[in-house]
Structure 1
Amino acid sequence: MSSKTEADFIDLSLLDENLLLQEEGIEVEILGPTNKPTGLKITIYGPDSSRSAQAVKELTALIEKEAAKEGDADVDSPEAQRRRSIIYLAKVTKGWNLPPVVDGEKLSFSEENAVKLYTKYPIIEGQIRFKADRRGSFIKS
């Protein structure tokens, strides 16, 4: 057998920056229907962050609770799945730069208000989902 040298291992420290960025969160600039910035910037945690892991645990508990309800046939309906997906996104949302106005109400940041925002505006939900689901979104350029 040959002796071990420095070339006999893989240095994964490059992944540490990615994990750190996922814990800190990244800012997503929200675009409008014409692909121009709206001015709204939403900060989200990454898919490998501790916040994301906690969100998955909380959603699993919610799904189990919903499934345990007697006669609840809507646990896997498309509407229920979208609602849970939005709840997950709200849980991995860290905040936003300015309060958006939804139905005449200025929304300060909270998980509940993030649910309102993503439910009302699928265009925003889609942009957040696209970034939140991709580890590549959390690489410094």
Structure 2
Amino acid sequence: MVDKKTEHDFIDLSFLDENLKLQEEGIEVEILGPTNKPTGLVISIFGPDSTRAQEASKALSAEIEQEAAKEGNIDLDTPEARRRRQISYLAKITKGWNKPIGAERLEYSETNARTLYTKYPIIEDQVKFKADRRGSFTKS
């Protein structure tokens, strides 16, 4: 008996390749203000499965290990330490933003992203919301 191959003989996961490609390219997050109106700020981020996110996770793990190695460090799992690490991760996966920010005209850098997310939790939350969802990295 000859085996007939049909479209149901395998699972096509090529749609995941497109998702990975978009994660590597990054997406734009339009930042909204407290009244849910656009602020004009658009932040570009890499996806959770991107090379940049993997590097950020490794760097964050090394940072946690260094903190843990400090003798007597009891500040590893406080809410403040968790938020600091979350902001560090977000800053590392941030690709850039559309315009300089504030009177200081802050251009994108990892340090400036960390400062922005620390000062404005409303921005941090919106970026985190998109960054954590693979579904954010699909073509509309």
Residue 48 (1) aligns with residue 49 (2): yes
Alignment TM-score, normalising by the size of structure 2 = 0.95
Counterpart for residue 133 of structure 1? 132
Alignment TM-score, normalising by the size of structure 1 = 0.95
Counterpart for residue 5 of structure 1? 5
Q: 1:27-49: CA deviations, max 9, x gaps?
A: 00000000000000000000010
1 CA distance for matches of 2:132 and 2:100? 24
RMSD across aligned positions (CA): 1.3
Counterpart for residue 118 of structure 1? 117
**Count of matched residue pairs:** 139
Using the TM superposition, give the Cα deviation of residue 3 of structure 1 relative to its aligned residue in structure 2, in angstroms: 2.6
Structure 2 unpaired stretches of 5+: none
Runs of 4+ in 1 over 4 A off after TM superposition: none
1 CA distance for matches of 2:70 and 2:26? 35
Using the TM superposition, give the Cα deviation of residue 99 of structure 1 relative to its aligned residue in structure 2, in angstroms: 1.1
Alignment of 1:67-78 (within 5 A): 67-78=68-79
Alignment of 1:28-107 (within 5 A): 28-101=29-102, 104-107=103-106
The amino acid that maps onto 1:5 is K
Identity of aligned residues (%): 71
Q: Say which SS state the counterpart of residue 139 (structure 1) adopts.
A: coil
Cα 1:35–1:10 change in 2 (3 A) is: same
Residue 27 (1) aligns with residue 28 (2): yes
2 CA distance for matches of 1:125 and 1:81? 13
Cα 1:37–1:5 change in 2 (3 A) is: same
Using the TM superposition, give the Cα deviation of residue 4 of structure 1 relative to its aligned residue in structure 2, in angstroms: 5.7
2 CA distance for matches of 1:55 and 1:33? 29
Q: Say which SS state the counterpart of residue 115 (structure 1) adopts.
A: helix
Structure 1 unpaired stretches of 5+: none
